[in-house]
Amino acid sequence: MSCQLGPIRLANPVMTASGTSGYTFELSEFVDLDRLGAFVTKSITLEPRMGNPPQRTYETAGGMLNSIGLANVGLEKFCEEKIPLLERMTIPVFVNVAGKTIDEYVAVAQRVAGFSCIAGLELNVSCPNVSQGGITFGIDPQGLKELVAAVRTACPKSFLIVKLTPNVTDITATAKAAIEGGANTLSLVNTFLGMAIDIETRRPILGNRTGGLSGPAIKPMAVYMVNKVYQEAAQPAGVPIIGMGGICSGEDAIEFILAGATAVAVGTETLVQPSCLTNIIEGIRQYLIDHHIAAVKELVGTVEK
């Protein structure tokens, strides 16, 4: 069941997705976190953020919209209150980093990378870049490459995951840019932009007007993007992929692995049923037994061409 993200060994390929499992042990009442492959924190920014006005989540057919807006306690409080708890985790921990400027990403990344209990950083590049007039970092290959390279230079020894947004015409271009900037692993996908309208009031349901769609509704699009990035960017460069988007079962996880993911992350389904994380691990194990496959890594990217 083990897998390698570069030098980092995971006991199994199942991780939490950022923003859906809190900062540390919030889910421990419902799931034995020690059994997971790795833990990913919610996004941390330099300053504390209140996030967007309510309503911030809305259930849709086969999924949900969220417009949380990166609400978080900010870097100082995270280091003071959450890092001491993360030190107790027995599985690799990745801190998800977000910001509005390259300097903000670098400041958070540098500080967090200094803690020995942190296995690596995941850059959430789906944030508007204030210094470039609000264009999301992750949709502009050149801007993305500069961002990743700046963090790479500031944290030369850190394991760097770059989390790609699906809201682009060609995800291969941003995947290649992240690799050229110095990413060690790519994670995909973040949420798809969406909107829901209350037909009685004729108002958008989310306080922020738009939000990000996640859950089973996005799975086929996410599998497609993982396979495309695997074939055209990640495999040629020897860079592993963490696949996510609507995973609810071991079978769903296997689909992502066949498409090219070395590991998988689970977000929305964790909100429905936190114990799904360990069920997914068992589902993958059962598939390997049923199909007489010795190791999950043998399956990566083996969908027929």
Ligand X SMILES: Cc1cc2nc3c(=O)[nH]c(=O)nc-3n(C[C@H](O)[C@H](O)[C@H](O)COP(=O)(O)O)c2cc1C
Catalytic residues: 127
| Residue closer to ligand X, measured from CB, 220 or 291 | 220
User: Any contact of residue 191 with ligand X (CB under 6 A)?
Assistant: yes
- Choosing from 31, 102, 254, 266, the residue that interacts with ligand X (CB under 6 A) is 266
User: Any contact of residue 68 with ligand X (CB under 6 A)?
Assistant: yes
Q: How far is the CB of 233 from ligand X (least distance, A)?
A: 19
Q: How far is the CB of 97 from ligand X (least distance, A)?
A: 9
User: Any contact of residue 165 with ligand X (CB under 6 A)?
Assistant: no
User: Any contact of residue 190 with ligand X (CB under 6 A)?
Assistant: yes
Binding mask of the shown chain, residues 116 to 145, with x at each position contacting ligand X by CB under 6 A = --------x---------------------
Segment 95 to 114, residues that bind ligand X, using CB under 6 A: 96
How is the chain classified by DSSP, letter by letter? Answer: --EEETTEEESSSEEEPTTSS-SSSTTTTTS-GGGSSBEEPPPB-SS-B--SPSP-EEEETTEEEE---S-B--HHHIIIIIHHHHTT-SS-EEEEE--SSHHHHHHHHHHHHT-TT--EEEEE--SEEGGGTTEEGGG-HHHHHHHHHHHHHHSTTS-EEEEPPS-SS-HHHHHHHHHHHT-SEEEE--PEEE--EETTTTEESSTTS-EEEESGGGHHHHHHHHHHHIIIIIHHHT--EEE-SS--SHHHHHHHHHHT-SEEEE-HHHHH-TTHHHHHHHHHHHHHHHTT-S-GGGGTT-S--
Q: How far is the CB of 18 from ligand X (least distance, A)?
A: 4
- Choosing from 166, 181, 245, 283, the residue that interacts with ligand X (CB under 6 A) is 245
Mark the segment that binds ligand X (CB under 6 A) among 13-21, 108-116, 172-180, 284-292: 13-21
Q: How far is the CB of 123 from ligand X (least distance, A)?
A: 9
The residue ranges that bind ligand X (CB under 6 A) are 17-20, 42-43, 64, 66, 68, 70, 96, 124, 163, 190-191, 214-215, 218, 244-247, 266-268
